[in-house]
Chains A and B, each alone.
Chain A
Amino acid sequence: METIDLTKSSLRDLNELLQRQSEIANQKQWEIINPKGAHAVAVGLNASLELSVKGSTGYYCAGMNQKANIKVYGSAGPGVCENMMSGCVTIEGDASQYAGATGQGGLLVIKGNAASRCGISMKGIDIVVHGNIGHMSAFMGQSGNLVVLGDTGDALGDSIYEARLFVRGNVKSLGADCVEKEMRSEHLNILQDLLNRSNANADAKEFKRYGSARKLYNFDIDNAGNY
């Protein structure tokens, strides 16, 4: 286990060291202590490291993550896992706005609550939130799955493309072109798999599915009010 103390090492040294680790490196277990809300912690990683962050982070923690397995023992600031490509990131506390923004792959698990715009523009990432999420979540979501055990805020899935939304709790309101959809066996399978992988204590049958009504796919003047 390699430990890096952010009160002693610089952010540049931290990221440079972690980014240098390749698939065949010997050292796989890493720990960062005293993050104290620092920004851009563990960004651009590209190897299947096991990394623990002991404390809360600022903006863009694990940004553009590839392959790494990261656990944050605290809360994460805005844009956690933004543009993530692969790997698995777990936030034990809460996540701020834009969690998983534009993510293309991998799994982001938030044990607490996520704030507004969770999964904005998601492009294939899977996000599981054990708590609640804020407004404008999954805005323009293109693909991937967003699973919420708690409640959502206003305008869920506004302008959504093909991303799938599964919500167990209450949906405050749906956004433009987002509707409730039929839950079929293939959806239940996808959902249960995500719940299991994220250690969520829930049954897929308790959820409802939401997605695109596909009315905005080709411009029609009578839908102008939705733009």
Chain B
Amino acid sequence: MCGIVGLFLKDKSLETALGEMLTQMLITMSDRGPDSAGIAIYKNPTNSFTKITVQSSQPQIDFKNIKTELDNFSNQKLEIITIDTHAIITIETKYLNNIKEILTTSFHNIRIMSIGDSIEIYKEVGLPETVANRFDISKMSGSHGIGHTRMATESAVTTMGAHPFSTGNDQCLVHNGSLSNHNSLRRKLLKEGIKCETDNDTEVAAAYLTYKMNDGYNLGDALKAGITELDGFYTFLVGTKSGFGVLRDPIACKPAVLAETEQYVAFGSEYRALVNLPNIDIAKVWEPEPATVYFWEH
């Protein structure tokens, strides 16, 4: 069980404050999930470059080795920015598959958190405030982002068990609730060639959406298909390169609050998460209807 938050900026002048606002929202939700926390931020999209966010439990060693290895690979100077246990590797998009190959075969200790033109995912075990401080999230800017703080239900409390889960380029998912058919879905997806790393039900939901989108569905239709195929209680918040979406299951017991002004659209598990946003007093505040996809994009 968990707390989830999301912020989509319509007003570009707020972009430098995105990290700060999202961090505050997430910290307010700490009571709902003390185990681990994560944030996905969408920023600095470029067309010819792709960012890979990786995590390692021995960052000093691994990140140095990665730089050496990748420098050897291409003559291009690639960029690696390291921060705590994570690193953002920026490379030319045409080399993406080669780099992924290298990372997964030569570096068994690192985990790929996200891949995309715009997305960066940071997640670790610990309280939201601790996690946010480790990665200096409040100094980050961006166009939109989602965050999650976790109380594990049926799977372990680990870094990889934390949300957001990303199973496709620039896509990620956070979840509040509990899916009841995730084990059989995980096995079905494996047969389709999509492998989940953890025993976490949310990762299965993320993998399911990716599977549908690989099959040609757009995000909205993938979420609609999920209404019948994903069983259980959920509020999903999905991030894509251009925006974010919200979906609640048909029974809709898990909480969800949306707020919209001319400057932003914000989401929180509780109204408390939204109280410090600019002009919240005059925002349109409402709760999403069950089994209805809501989506905003730039």
Contacts and interface: CB of A to CB of B under 8 A. Distances in A.
Give yes or no for direct A-B contact (beta carbon below 8 Å).
Answer: yes
Interface of A: 36-39, 56, 58-59, 75, 77-78, 93-94, 96-97, 113, 115-116, 134-135, 153
A208 B49 CA distance: 62
B275 A77 contact: no
Contacts of B273: 37
A94 B285 contact: yes
A171 to B, nearest CB: 16
Contacts, number: 42
A58 B272 contact: yes
Contact of A58 (B253, B271, B285): B271
B270 A75 contact: no
A115 B287 contact: yes
A94 B257 CA distance: 12
A56 B290 contact: no
A94 B286 contact: yes
B271 A56 contact: yes
Interface residues of B, number: 15
Q: Which 5 A-B pairs have the closest CB atoms?
A: A37-B272, A37-B271, A36-B275, A115-B287, A37-B275
Contacts of B257: 96
A165 B257 CA distance: 27
B255 A135 contact: no
Contacts of A39: 272
A38 B272 contact: yes
Interface of B: 252-253, 255, 257, 270-275, 285-287, 289-290
B34 to A, nearest CB: 16
A37 B270 contact: yes
Contacts of B270: 37, 58-59, 77
Contacts of A134: 287, 289
Contacts of A37: 270-275
A75 B282 CA distance: 12
24 contacts: A36-B275, A37-B271, A37-B273, A37-B274, A38-B272, A39-B272, A58-B271, A75-B271, A75-B285, A77-B255, A77-B271, A78-B255, A96-B255, A96-B257, A96-B271, A97-B252, A97-B253, A97-B255, A97-B287, A113-B286, A115-B287, A116-B252, A116-B290, A134-B289
Given A58-B271, A58-B272, A77-B255, 19 more contacts: A37-B271, A37-B273, A37-B275, A38-B272, A56-B275, A58-B270, A59-B270, A77-B271, A93-B285, A94-B285, A96-B257, A96-B271, A96-B287, A97-B253, A115-B287, A116-B290, A134-B287, A135-B290, A153-B289
A113 B257 CA distance: 14
Contact of A135 (B252, B272, B286): B252
Is chain A's binding surface mostly helix, strand, loop or mixed? loop
A67 to B, nearest CB: 27
A96 B256 CA distance: 9
B145 to A, nearest CB: 21
Contacts of A93: 285
Nearest to A77: B271
A82 to B, nearest CB: 15
Contacts of A96: 255, 257, 271, 287
A113 B286 CA distance: 9
A75 B255 CA distance: 15
Nearest to B255: A78
Contacts of B290: 116, 135
A133 to B, nearest CB: 12
A59 to B, nearest CB: 8
A35 to B, nearest CB: 9
A61 to B, nearest CB: 11
Contacts of A56: 271, 275
B27 to A, nearest CB: 14
Contacts of B275: 36-37, 56
A153 B289 CA distance: 10
Contacts of A38: 272
B214 to A, nearest CB: 33
Nearest to A153: B289
B90 to A, nearest CB: 39
Contacts of B286: 94, 113
